């Protein structure tokens, strides 16, 4: 998928502290980048995390994370963290992230897939997405909802 197909393309510069002896970003830090992506995604659709989600009776928990490493980002690289909701279930969503260099956006360095589940802050159990959050995501992505 081309990076231009993502509405969210968040710029981020690789920090010195994130790069290891092999000269590339340590593999775990890409999950920090993915976490920045979900924060900015929520802001972009119109909700400030976590206050405005909590006010809707919603919190987000990661249930599963998968990273495919194609090439490593290097110190001082200007990256684009591209992200979108690929599918929206009743209580979970599948969030896709592609990390590219701003200067060569067709070469995907890292692909990430995160499964987030909606959790009721009171009961700490999974629960259906608040309608407003669902509408905001569907409107932003123009994707059809799934049942699962």
x/- string (CB under 8 A) for its own copies, residues 70-109?
Answer: -----xx---------------------------------
Binding status of residue 8 toward its own copies by CB under 8 A = no
Transcribe 92-103 into DSSP letters.
EEEEEEEEEETT
Q: In the chain, what is the greatest distance between 2 CA atoms, to the nearest angstrom? A: 47
Binding status of residue 21 toward its own copies by CB under 8 A = yes
Cα separation of 77 and 99, whole Å?
11
Identified binder of its own copies from the candidate list 1, 54, 63, 146, rule CB under 8 A: 63
Least distance in Å: CB of 46 to its own copies? 15
Residue 91: both structure tokens together? 């209580």
Identified binder of its own copies from the candidate list 2, 4, 5, 32, rule CB under 8 A: 32
Identified binder of its own copies from the candidate list 7, 44, 49, 120, rule CB under 8 A: 49
Identified binder of its own copies from the candidate list 6, 30, 41, 129, rule CB under 8 A: 30
Cα separation of 16 and 98, whole Å?
21
Residue 103 contacts residue 77 (beta carbons within 8 Å): no
Binding status of residue 39 toward its own copies by CB under 8 A = yes
| Angle, vertex CA 53, rays to CA 62 and CA 61, nearest 5 | 10
Tell me, what DSSP letter sits at residue 16? Answer: G
Please report, as ranges, the residues that interact with its own copies according to CB under 8 A. Answer: 15-17, 19-21, 23, 26-32, 34-36, 39, 48-49, 61-69, 75-76
């Amino acid at each position: 998928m081309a990076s231009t197909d993502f509405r969210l393309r968040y710029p981020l510069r690789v920090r010195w502290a994130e790069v290891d002896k092999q000269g590339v970003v340590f593999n775990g830090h890409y999950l920090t980048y993915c976490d920045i992506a979900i924060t900015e995604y929520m802001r972009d659709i119109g909700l400030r995390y976590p206050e405005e989600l909590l006010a809707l009776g919603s919190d987000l928990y990661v249930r599963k994370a998968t990273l495919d490493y194609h090439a490593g980002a290097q110190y001082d690289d200007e990256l684009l963290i591209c992200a979108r909701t690929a599918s929206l279930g009743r209580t979970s969503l599948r969030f896709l992230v592609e990390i590219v260099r701003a200067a060569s956006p067709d070469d995907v360095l890292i692909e990430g897939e995160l499964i987030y589940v909606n959790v009721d802050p009171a009961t700490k159990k999974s629960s259906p997405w608040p309608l407003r959050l669902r509408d905001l995501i569907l409107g932003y992505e123009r994707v059809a909802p799934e049942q699962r």
